[in-house]
Chain A
Amino acid sequence: MSALTSTPTAETPPGRLTAVRSFFTDSIRANPQGTTVRAAAVVVLLLGIIAIPGFATLNNFKGLLASVSLIGIAAAGMAIITISGNFFMLSMGATTAVSTIVFATTLSLGLLPAIIITVAVGTVVGLLQGLVIGGWGANPIIVTIAAASIILGAGELWSGGLTIFGDGDPSSLNAVLFDILPVQVLVFFAVVILIHFVIQKSPFGRQIRLIGSNRDTAEFAGLPVKRTVIIGYVIAAACAAMAGVLLGAEFDFDVISAVLVGGVVVTGGKGTVLDAAVGAVFIGMVGNLLIVGGQSFALQTVIKGVIVIVAVSAAALLARRKGKR
């Protein structure tokens, strides 16, 4: 659609402005929520740089990037679940938290083995949930709520409720490249770009999107629906485990907020992994701005909730208007 409307005007010199304008109107029309969030992120960034002293410092940016990366990696995994029409994976925070324990206990074996073991454990956890949800057809929300309880309970039993200190050297994970890019950020970029292209371009990704937008059609077309959903859960849990390797925290609802605000639609099939990552950046930036501006954790949470409700309501209103046209 964009090629049709913008190429003829781009050839004539006076039309260049129109070309730019039509590029923007096209992208708004194609992905209204994603474009709005991207624009809002830029506005928040500029606002922070101009109005909040202490926001535009190197140290703050490093901290911001690191925290956004964690949410972003998990949001990329969550986006697969949401796009495939299975709503949310409410066990993601639990997987991340327990992955930290696994990582710390296995660190004595060396950094790489510890990472591999942690992600492998996450994969198994995701596989089990995928089997119950995709293979057996159980409700995704309730299964992942139950899984969260089982995972956290098992983690607490394993660690005896104590903090586990790793016996090894994870320092290369905290390394900073060129004085500004923490390793977490590189992992974040790599994970998002990889999963984004897998979902957008590969046959597996197309299957995920078709299952999300119309499961019956996918089944009639003979797609391996069960297998695809199971693989989706495996990837999502592996993402959660990877976030746990980098730094563990329970943040289910931050991740869901990022996915929803970014414009991944809960009915499935719509939205991209990149949208979810942008949502994570936006939510992270707003939170950071409030902290640096001296606001409380409480206000930060209130504002996150308002953003989610406003974003999904606006998207619903927009979709309704589109439907009437």
Chain B
Amino acid sequence: MNPLVPVSTDPGRTSASHRFQRLSVETGIRLALILAIFVVFAASAEDFLSPGNLYSILSQFALLGLITAALGVTMIAGEFDLSVGAMVSVSAVITLKVSDAYSPIVGLLAGIATGALVGVFNGILVAFLRLSSLVVTVGTLVLLTGIAYQIANNSVVSYDNFDVSSAVDDPIAQILSARSLITIGILVLLGLMLRFLRGGRYLYAVGGNRAAAFAMGLPVDRTIVLSMTASATLAALAGGLLAFSLLGASPTTGGSLLLQGASAAMLGGIALSGGVGTATGMALGALTLTALNSGLSLQGVSSALIALINGLVLLIVIVLNARNLGTVNGLLVRMSRPLHSFRGRTENSNGR
């Protein structure tokens, strides 16, 4: 081996077996956590494991799973998309309006296309203007909220086509539905893409060590644009399907999704510092949170207390993560100075 040739900095390839071991231990811990939640709630509420409740958990998972995937894809790339909640609202409103005028398929496609457009816009601003994704997505958040109010005309949009809601929500094998199957399918697809496609590997490289990725000649800008586009598109899909399920949408539909999505992604082991995380983790994180919330509300816990508990869960996860990963420093390097800080120099900007 030539010692002058640098070893690959792609974290997925350097110590694959060691990494795989660590990841599977982490996945094991996550599975144990979900099992614990199921055991505790099943023991204390007999309805918890009933097909009806499992169906309801999976329906909530259908929404949260997509949002977690949206946030997860940007987090792996070392960015963050604050506008996912607003994107859900806009897409929900557009989907119903267009469905009403044309057909449900066209409506859903219109919602998804809007998402892709917004994502490309976000991505171009982040990648080519070297802006922090936080700043850009705060701007699009406000903009999208306004657009949602404008299209919905300040009120609730309703759509009385019950065929659509039964198409997405009718139980399949008692506990599944078309909506939850779509989410599961997309998470599987995302997992395969992250693991086996070159673009997926680029995502880890760009998020894990952007300076090294750039120095190796990887398409850093394109990868960032793609991840922001994937994020907004997934959020838009979630919004469209939610609107079909509720047969209604309002400018505030996406309200608390950012908190839940971020909690689920962190629970699933997606690191804010970028470069770490899997689709399995996202799925497990989303499932943990939906199971927890479902169990709590079965116990008769008020929605205010559930919001408080969700916040505490997120806080505990982030506090535990902070010590392991040194997130603030990593985040400062990767998020606030996306590229320009190391253009022209190639030293490791990984922080500590």
Chain A residues with CB under 8 Å of chain B are 85, 87-88, 132-133, 136-143, 145-154, 156-157, 161, 215, 253, 256-257, 260, 266-268, 296-306, 308-309, 312-313, 316-317, 320, 323
- The reply to whether B308 and A147 form a contact with Cβ atoms under 8 Å apart is no
Query: In angstroms, how far is the closest chain A Cβ from the Cβ of B333?
Result: 10
A145 with B323: in contact, given A253-B141, A312-B131 (CB under 8 Å)?
no
- The reply to whether B340 and A320 form a contact with Cβ atoms under 8 Å apart is yes
CB under 8 Å from chain A, chain B span 241-265: 256, 258-259, 262-263
Q: A85-B336, A305-B139 are in contact. List 20 more A-B contacts (CB 8 A).
A: A132-B315, A139-B322, A139-B331, A140-B328, A143-B318, A145-B259, A146-B318, A148-B311, A156-B304, A296-B154, A298-B147, A299-B146, A301-B142, A301-B143, A302-B143, A305-B140, A305-B144, A308-B143, A312-B139, A316-B130
Instruction: Tell me how many residues of B have a C-beta within 8 Å of chain A.
Output: 57
- The reply to whether B135 and A266 form a contact with Cβ atoms under 8 Å apart is yes
Query: In the docked arrangement, what's the CA distance between A161 and B308, Å?
Result: 14
- The reply to whether B138 and A298 form a contact with Cβ atoms under 8 Å apart is no
| Secondary structure call for the B interface | helix
A305 with B312: in contact, given A142-B272, A296-B154, A312-B136 (CB under 8 Å)?
no
Whether B310 is near chain A, meaning CB under 8 Å from some CB there, is yes
A139 with B304: in contact, given A149-B311, A305-B146 (CB under 8 Å)?
no
- Chain B residues with CB below 8 A from A151, complex form: 311
Whether B327 is near chain A, meaning CB under 8 Å from some CB there, is yes
- The reply to whether A146 and B328 form a contact with Cβ atoms under 8 Å apart is no
Chain B residues with CB under 8 Å of chain A are 80, 125, 129-132, 134-136, 138-150, 153-154, 256, 258-259, 262-263, 266, 272, 302, 304-312, 314-315, 318-319, 321-323, 326-329, 331-332, 336-337, 340
Query: In the docked arrangement, what's the CA distance between A140 and B258, Å?
Result: 15
- The reply to whether A141 and B130 form a contact with Cβ atoms under 8 Å apart is no
- The reply to whether A313 and B315 form a contact with Cβ atoms under 8 Å apart is no
- Chain B residues with CB below 8 A from A298, complex form: 146-150, 153-154
Query: In angstroms, how far is the closest chain A Cβ from the Cβ of B202?
Result: 24
- Chain B residues with CB below 8 A from A87, complex form: 132, 134, 336
Interface-central residue, B80, B130, B143, by most chain A CB under 10 Å: B143
Interface-central residue, A268, A309, A317, by most chain B CB under 10 Å: A309
Query: In angstroms, how far is the closest chain B Cβ from the Cβ of A86?
Result: 8
Query: In the docked arrangement, what's the CA distance between A136 and B317, Å?
Result: 13
- Chain B residues with CB below 8 A from A145, complex form: 258-259, 262, 314
Query: In angstroms, how far is the closest chain A Cβ from the Cβ of B51?
Result: 31
Query: In angstroms, how far is the closest chain B Cβ from the Cβ of A126?
Result: 15
Could you jot down 13 A-B contacts, CB within 8 Å? A87-B336, A138-B322, A142-B266, A142-B318, A146-B315, A149-B310, A151-B311, A153-B306, A156-B304, A301-B149, A305-B141, A308-B138, A312-B139
- The reply to whether A139 and B272 form a contact with Cβ atoms under 8 Å apart is yes
A306 with B143: in contact, given A136-B323, A313-B125 (CB under 8 Å)?
yes
- The reply to whether A267 and B132 form a contact with Cβ atoms under 8 Å apart is yes
Query: In the docked arrangement, what's the CA distance between A28 and B340, Å?
Result: 23
- Chain A residues with CB below 8 A from B140, complex form: 305, 309
Top-9 shortest CB links A-B:
A305-B143, A301-B146, A153-B308, A149-B311, A302-B146, A298-B149, A156-B304, A150-B311, A305-B142
Query: In the docked arrangement, what's the CA distance between A141 and B323, Å?
Result: 16
Interface-central residue, A137, A153, A161, A303, by most chain B CB under 10 Å: A153
- The reply to whether A305 and B258 form a contact with Cβ atoms under 8 Å apart is no
- Chain A residues with CB below 8 A from B80, complex form: 141
Query: In the docked arrangement, what's the CA distance between A182 and B322, Å?
Result: 45
Partner of A147 from B134, B311, B321 at Cβ < 8 Å: B311
Residue of B nearest to A149 (CB): B311
Residue of B nearest to A214 (CB): B332
A320 with B130: in contact, given A256-B138, A308-B139 (CB under 8 Å)?
yes
Residue of B nearest to A317 (CB): B129
- The reply to whether B258 and A266 form a contact with Cβ atoms under 8 Å apart is no
- The reply to whether B143 and A309 form a contact with Cβ atoms under 8 Å apart is yes
- The reply to whether B154 and A143 form a contact with Cβ atoms under 8 Å apart is no
Residue of B nearest to A150 (CB): B311
A257 with B311: in contact, given A142-B262, A145-B262, A298-B149 (CB under 8 Å)?
no
